Amino acid sequence: MTDETSDPRTDGGERVRESRRGAKRTDGGTAAAGHETDHHHGLPAPSSIKRWLVTTNHKDVGILYTVTALFFLVFGGVLALLMRVQLWTPGATILEPLQYNQAVSAHGLIMIFWFLSPFAFGFANYVVPLQIGAKDLAFPRLNALSYWLYLFSGILFGVSFFQGGTFAGGWTMYAPLNLPVYTPNIGASTAVLALLLFVVSVTVSSVNFLTTMHRMRAEGLTLRRMPLFTWTILLTTWMMLFAFAALLAALMILSADRLIGTQYFAATGHAGSLLWAHLFWFFGHPEVYIVFFPALGVMAECFQTFTGKRIVGRKWFIAAMVLVALQSFLVWMHHMFLTSINLEIKTLFMATTIGISLPFDLMVFALVYTMLKGRVRFTTPFLFSFGALVLFILGGITGVFLGAVVLDYEFRGTYWVVAHFHYVMVGGITALVGGLYYWYPKMTGKMYDKFLGKLHFAMYFVGFNLLYFPMFVAWETPRRDFVYPEIYTTWHQLSTVGAFLLGASFLVMFYNLWVSLSTGEDASDNPWQFSTTTEWAIPSPPPLENFPGKPSFSSGSLEFLPDGSDAGDIEPAGPGGREPAATDGGEATTDGGEAATDGSETDADDGEDDDDGKLVTDGGRVMTDGGQPMTDDEQVVADDGTAGAADANAGVADEKATDGGTVTVYDEHAADDEEHGEDHASIWPFRIGLTSFLFLVGLSGLRQGSFPEGLEGGAYLGLTVVAGVGLLWALVGMGREEFHGLEGPFGESWPFTGINNTKLGVWIFLASDVVLFGAFVGSYAFIRVAEGWQNNWHHLIPADHVVLPGLINTYLLLTSSFTVVLALVACEKRSKWGLIGSLATTLVLGIAFLINKAMEWQHLFHVHSEAFPNGWNIGTNVASSTFYLTTGLHALHVIAGLVITLYLIARAWNGAYLDDDQPVELFGLYWHFVDIVWLFLFPLFYIL
C-alpha cells in the first residue's frame, strides 16, 4: 500500500489512540478471555455452546444463519441428487412416484426458503451493520428470534418427512392439490405450518433490518452513499415485508383449509385454484428477486473490489434496482399465462414483464463495464461473481423467451422453465458462494486455501453448466416428471453427471473452509486490495462492539470519532475525504479520466491479495458504548401475524439529528459507564422458537377442526396444549425481560428522522399487516367476483346473517379506540387513575366485542333454514369460510390486543407510563389499526 496517509483509518486510529480510555476490547469472533464476559452482560465465550443459544449479537447471528443455511443446502442437495439419479433413464422408479414428488417439492421449498434467502441473510446480518456503521441491529433480541424461528421452522419441515411423508405438490403448492383430500399426509400439513413459521421469522427480520438500515446509518452515510450490498439488502427487505405478508395470508388460509376445514381452495369452488395461484405468485415473483438481489449486491461489491474500479453508473444501477423492486409486484401473472385470465391482462403482464427485464440489462452492463481499465484479479470471490454474471446473463436471455407469451405457452411446465430459473437462481447462489469466500476472512479471521477455492470454482462452474445447460436442449421434458422422451436420455445423463460434479465441488468448499478455520493464515483487517466498505476497516473478526469509536462519514470518508464527540468539532481526516460526494453516479459521459494502466503486457497476478497488513491493527481500541442509558427495545413480537406487545419501552431519547445532513447534535452524556452498555444475551428467543416448533408439531395433527381419535390424536392434542402454554410463557418472559439494545442518537435516519426505532418498527410491522389483511380481503373479493358478486353470493348466506351485530361491534370498537386515545391523554396529564380507567374501559369494550361476536357466531352455527339445514358453519361454503376466517383473524388480533391491555393495566397500576407514555402510544397504534381493519370488514361482510 503506497499511500498510507490517504487511508482514513491511519488518521482515525491515531486520534482514537490519543483519547483512549481504559481500553476494553473483546474478540467477538474467536476466543474471548473469560473474565471479559461479565463486561458484556452475560455473553459467554464463543467456545461454549451456551453462547450460541443466547447470543443476540448480529455477527453471531450472522454466523448461525450462514452455517444453518449451508446445512439446508446439503439437505436440499441430497434430494436433488436423488431426483437426478431417478432421471438417469426415462421412467425409472428408484423412488416411488409419490416419493419423487416429495423430493421435487421438498427440494424446491428447502432451497428457496431454507437455504437461499437465509444464506444471503447470514451475510446481511454480519455485514450490513458493519457497512452502515451500526453496532448492532435495531432490535437484537428480535434478530435472534428470527434466527430461532428460522431454524425451528426448518427442523419442523424435516419432521414432516416422518409423518407419513412430506408435502408432495411442488414448491408452488397449487390448489387444490394442496388440500388433505389429495395430499392427506399429516406431514403435508406440517410442511405448510413449517413454511408459516418461516414466514413469521422473515417478517420479524424485515422489520428489524428496515428499521436498522433506515435509522442507524453513520453520520454522512446518506442513502445515496450506501454501499451497494447494503442497498440490495434494503430493497430485499422492503420486498420481503410486503411479499411475505401475501404469502402469510395464503398460508394461513391454506392452514385453515387443511386444519379446520374452510373451503377457500376446494375444487368445488369456482375459483379457489386460481385464487391460490394469484396469492402465491403475487408473493412468488417478488420472491425471485428477493433471493436474487443480495447476490447482485455481492457481485457489485466483488466486481468493484477485484477490479479496483468504482461501479459504472452507480446512480443508475441503484435506480434500476429500485424500479425492479417496485415493479416486481406487478408481473406475477406471467406465471399464469395458460390459465383462464383474459387477453387484456395477459397483454398488461407481458408488458410489465418485459419492462422489468430492461433494468436488469442496465445492471448487467454496469457490472461488465466496471471491469474496463481496471485491474482484474481472479481471486476466488471474483471468479464466483464473474461466473454468476455469466450465468445470470444466460438465465436472463432465456427469461425473455418466456416473456413472449406465445413461446411461454409451450415452455410452461417444461424443462425450459426449470433451466431458466436454475440459471438465474443458482446463478445467484454462485454469487453468494463468492460472498462466502469474500467475507470468510472477515468472519473467521482466517484465510482459506486459495488453490482449493479456485478448484471449487472450476468444478462448480463446469458442474453447473453440465447440469443445467442440457436442460435447455432437452426442454421438452415435462417438469416434475420422471418419464421423458427417450431421445433426451443422453442429455439427462449429462445433467446427472453435472449434478454430482456440482455436489462434489461443495465437498471441496466444506473441507477447505473447515480446515482453514484452524490451519488457515491469519487474515488481516483488509485482505483485499481495493475494498472500500467499512467492514474492512476493522479487525478480522471484528470485536464485539465492532468499531474503535463512533464511525462517521461526515468528513467525506470514514473516521472513528471518540465517543460522544460531535462530528462538527473534528476536522476532516486528511486526503481520505478527497473524493467529493458529487462524483456519485455514472452520468459523467467520459471515462477518460481513469489512470491508464496497461495490463495486457504482463501476466496477471492471479493470487489473492493480502497486502493491507500495514493498516492500523492496534488492538487497544477504545470501546465505548453509544451514550444514553438503554431501554428495552422490544415492542412488537410478531406471533402468527398478531402483535404481542412487550415490555415497557422506556422511551427512546429524543433525537435532534438533522435530516439527511451530516451533523448530529449529541447530548453529552456520560458514555463511560459500563452499566449502560448494551445487552447481548437472551435465552428467550430460543425458547420462543422451541415452543412454537412444538406447538406447530401438535397442531399438525388437526384435521377438519378436530384431532384424530386414539393415542396418536391424544398425543397431538396434548402437545398442542402443553407447547401452547409454553409458548405463551416464553412470549411473556421475553416481554418481561430487561434488555438494553442500542440507543440513539444515530447518524443518518432519512427518511425516518423524527420517529424513534421502536415506533418505526411498529409502523413497519403494521404496513405488513396491511398487506396481510389486504390479501384476505382481496381473496374474499376474488372469490365473490368468481361466484357472482351479487346474486349468487347472497344465496350462500342465511337470512339470519344480519347487520345489527356488526354495527354494534363497530360502535364498540370505535369507542374502544377512543378510550385508548383518552388513555394517552391521561398519561400526558399524569393522571394515573385516568390512565387505568381508560385502559380498563378499553378492555371491557374489547371483551364485549368478542362476546357479541361469539353470540353471533353461535347463532349462525345453529341456523335452521331450508337452505342451511345443518347450520352455517366454517366449512358450509365459501361465503361462510371467508366470513369466519377473515373476521376470525381480526378477532385474534383483538384478543392479542386485549392481552397487551391487561399487561399495560398491570404496569399502570404500579405507576408506570406517567413519565413515559410510549408503550401506551405504541399499543394505541396497534389497537387503532385493528379498529381500521374492522371499518372495512364491517361493510364488506355485513352490508354489501
Partner 1 sequence: MTVPADPIRPSLVALHPAQSGIIPRGTRVEVFQQIFDVFLVLGTLVGVVVVGYMVYNAYKYRDDGGERPDDAPKVGELPTGGGGGRKLFLSFGLSTIIVVSLILWTYGTLLYVEDEATVEGGDDVQIDVVGYRFGWDFVYPNGHETSTLRVPANETVQLNVTSEDVFHTFGVPELRVKTDAIPGQQTQTWLEAEETGTYRARCFEICGAGHSYMTAEVEVMRPSDYENWYANTSAENSSAVAGPSEIGPRATAGPRASAVSQGVVG
Partner 2 sequence: MSHLRLYTGIFAALAAFATAQVFVEQAGGLPYWTAFWVIIALSLVKAVLVAWYFQHLKWEPRSVSATIFTGLLAAIALTAAAAYSIL
Tell me the one-letter amino acid at 461.
Answer: F
Q: Are 214 and 760 contacting, i.e. CB atoms less than 8 angstroms apart?
A: yes
Binds ligand HEM (CB under 6 A): choice among 396, 463, 626, 761: 396
Contact call for residue 769 and ligand HEM (CB under 6 A): no
Stretch that binds ligand HEM, among 72-80, 397-405, 810-818, 936-944 (CB under 6 A): 397-405
- According to DSSP, residue 679 is labeled P
Q: How far is the CB of 870 from partner 1 (least distance, A)?
A: 19
Q: How far is the CB of 429 from partner 1 (least distance, A)?
A: 19
Contact call for residue 312 and partner 1 (CB under 8 A): yes
Q: Is 645 helix (H, G, I), strand (E, B) or coil?
A: strand
Contact call for residue 393 and ligand HEM (CB under 6 A): no
Residues in the chain: 944
CA distance to 286, 689, 878, per residue, from 198 (Å): 17, 11, 28
Q: Are 874 and 881 contacting, i.e. CB atoms less than 8 angstroms apart?
A: yes
**H or E segment to which residue 344 belongs:** helix 343-370
Stretch that binds ligand HEM, among 67-75, 400-408, 689-697, 911-919 (CB under 6 A): 400-408
Binds partner 1 (CB under 8 A): choice among 345, 588, 851, 902: 588
CA distance to 159, 290, 894, per residue, from 721 (Å): 19, 36, 21
Query: What is the bridge-based pairing of β-strands 559-561 and 550-552?
Result: antiparallel
Stretch that binds partner 1, among 196-204, 534-542, 745-753, 761-769 (CB under 8 A): 534-542
Decide whether 170 or 629 has the Cβ nearer to ligand HEM.
170
Contact call for residue 288 and ligand HEM (CB under 6 A): yes
> DSSP letters of 260-302?
T---TT-TTSSSHHHHHHHHHHHHHHHHHHHHHHHHHHHHHHH
Q: How far out from the chain centre does Cα 130 lie? A: 18
The C-alpha torsion from 294 through 300 and 303 to 309, rounded to 10°, is -160
Rounded Cα distance, 644 and 730, in Å: 12
CA distance to 253, 453, 626, per residue, from 271 (Å): 14, 51, 55
Contact call for residue 378 and partner 1 (CB under 8 A): yes
> DSSP letters of 721-774?
HHHHHHHHHHHHHHHHS--B------SB-TT-TTS-HHHHHHHHHHHHHHHHHH
Rounded Cα distance, 391 and 420, in Å: 10
Contact call for residue 407 and ligand HEM (CB under 6 A): no
Contact call for residue 72 and ligand HEM (CB under 6 A): no
Binds ligand HEM (CB under 6 A): choice among 29, 122, 399, 503: 399
Stretch that binds partner 1, among 203-211, 441-449, 480-488, 826-834 (CB under 8 A): 480-488
Number of C-beta neighbours around residue 351 at 10 A: 13
Decide whether 334 or 680 has the Cβ nearer to ligand HEM.
334
Q: How far is the CB of 743 from partner 2 (least distance, A)?
A: 20
Q: Which of residues 769-808 bind partner 1 (CB under 8 A)?
A: 786
Contact call for residue 314 and ligand HEM (CB under 6 A): no
Number of C-beta neighbours around residue 932 at 10 A: 15
Contact call for residue 483 and partner 1 (CB under 8 A): yes
β partners of residue 552: 219, 559
From its phi and psi, is residue 549 left (phi > 0), alpha (psi between -120 and 50) or beta? left
Contact call for residue 751 and partner 1 (CB under 8 A): no
Number of C-beta neighbours around residue 49 at 10 A: 8
Q: Which of residues 810-849 bind ligand HEM (CB under 6 A)?
A: none
Stretch that binds partner 1, among 195-203, 449-457, 526-534, 761-769 (CB under 8 A): 526-534
Binds ligand HEM (CB under 6 A): choice among 408, 634, 856, 921: 408
- According to DSSP, residue 169 is labeled S
Decide whether 486 or 654 has the Cβ nearer to partner 1.
486
Q: Which of residues 115-174 bind partner 1 (CB under 8 A)?
A: 168-170, 174
Q: Give residue for cell 486526503.
A: 575
Contact call for residue 335 and ligand HEM (CB under 6 A): yes
Contact call for residue 14 and partner 1 (CB under 8 A): no
Task: Find all residues with CB under 8 Å of 33, minimum gap 6, and list them.
Answer: 26
**Size of site (CB under 6 A) for ligand HEM:** 23
Q: How far is the CB of 408 from ligand HEM (least distance, A)?
A: 5
Q: How far is the CB of 600 from partner 1 (least distance, A)?
A: 6
Contact call for residue 403 and ligand HEM (CB under 6 A): yes
β partners of residue 83: none
Stretch that binds partner 1, among 26-34, 66-74, 241-249, 361-369 (CB under 8 A): 361-369
User: For 181, what's the count of Cα atoms within 13 Å in the CB-facing half-sphere?
Assistant: 12
Contact call for residue 417 and ligand HEM (CB under 6 A): yes
Q: How far is the CB of 331 from Cu ion (least distance, A)?
A: 6
The listed partner (partner 2, Cu ion, partner 1, none) that binds 285, CB under 5 to 8 Å by sort, is Cu ion
The pair phi, psi for residue 145, each rounded to 5°, is -60, -45
Contact call for residue 359 and ligand HEM (CB under 6 A): no
CA distance to 815, 858, 897, per residue, from 855 (Å): 20, 5, 20
Decide whether 316 or 765 has the Cβ nearer to ligand HEM.
316
Decide whether 44 or 541 has the Cβ nearer to partner 1.
541
Q: How far is the CB of 227 from partner 2 (least distance, A)?
A: 22
Number of C-beta neighbours around residue 815 at 10 A: 16
Q: Is 362 helix (H, G, I), strand (E, B) or coil?
A: helix
The listed partner (partner 2, partner 1, ligand HEM, none) that binds 393, CB under 5 to 8 Å by sort, is partner 1
Mask 681-720, x = binds partner 1 (CB under 8 A)? ----------------------------------------
* All cell numbers assigned to 547: 468499531
Decide whether 52 or 401 has the Cβ nearer to Cu ion.
401
Binding site for partner 2 (CB under 8 A): 242, 245-246, 271, 274-275, 278-279, 282, 329-330, 333, 336, 340-342, 345, 348, 751-755, 760, 763-764, 766-768, 770-771, 773-775, 777-778, 781-782, 785-786, 790, 803, 807, 810-811, 814-815, 817-818, 820-822, 825, 828-829, 921, 924-925, 928-929, 931-932, 935-936, 938-939, 943-944
Q: How far is the CB of 289 from partner 1 (least distance, A)?
A: 18
Q: Is 322 helix (H, G, I), strand (E, B) or coil?
A: helix
Q: At what angle do helices 918-938 and 878-909 cross, to 10 degrees?
A: 160
Contact call for residue 292 and ligand HEM (CB under 6 A): yes
Decide whether 665 or 803 has the Cβ nearer to partner 2.
803
Contact call for residue 357 and ligand HEM (CB under 6 A): yes
Q: Give residue for cell 427495545.
A: 633
Measured at the CA of 531, the angle between CA 744 and CA 225, to 5 degrees, comes to: 45
Task: Find all residues with CB under 8 Å of 829, minimum gap 6, and list them.
Answer: none
Q: Is 24 helix (H, G, I), strand (E, B) or coil?
A: coil
Q: Give residue for cell 371483551.
A: 847
Contact call for residue 703 and ligand HEM (CB under 6 A): no
Contact call for residue 374 and ligand HEM (CB under 6 A): no
Q: How far out from the chain centre does Cα 654 lie? A: 29
Q: How far is the CB of 293 from partner 2 (least distance, A)?
A: 18
Stretch that binds partner 1, among 279-287, 542-550, 592-600, 889-897 (CB under 8 A): 592-600
Binding site for Cu ion (CB under 5 A): 285
Binds partner 1 (CB under 8 A): choice among 307, 352, 430, 444: 307
Binding site for ligand HEM (CB under 6 A): 172, 288, 291-292, 334-335, 353, 357, 360, 396, 399-400, 402-403, 408, 411-412, 417, 420-421, 424-425, 428
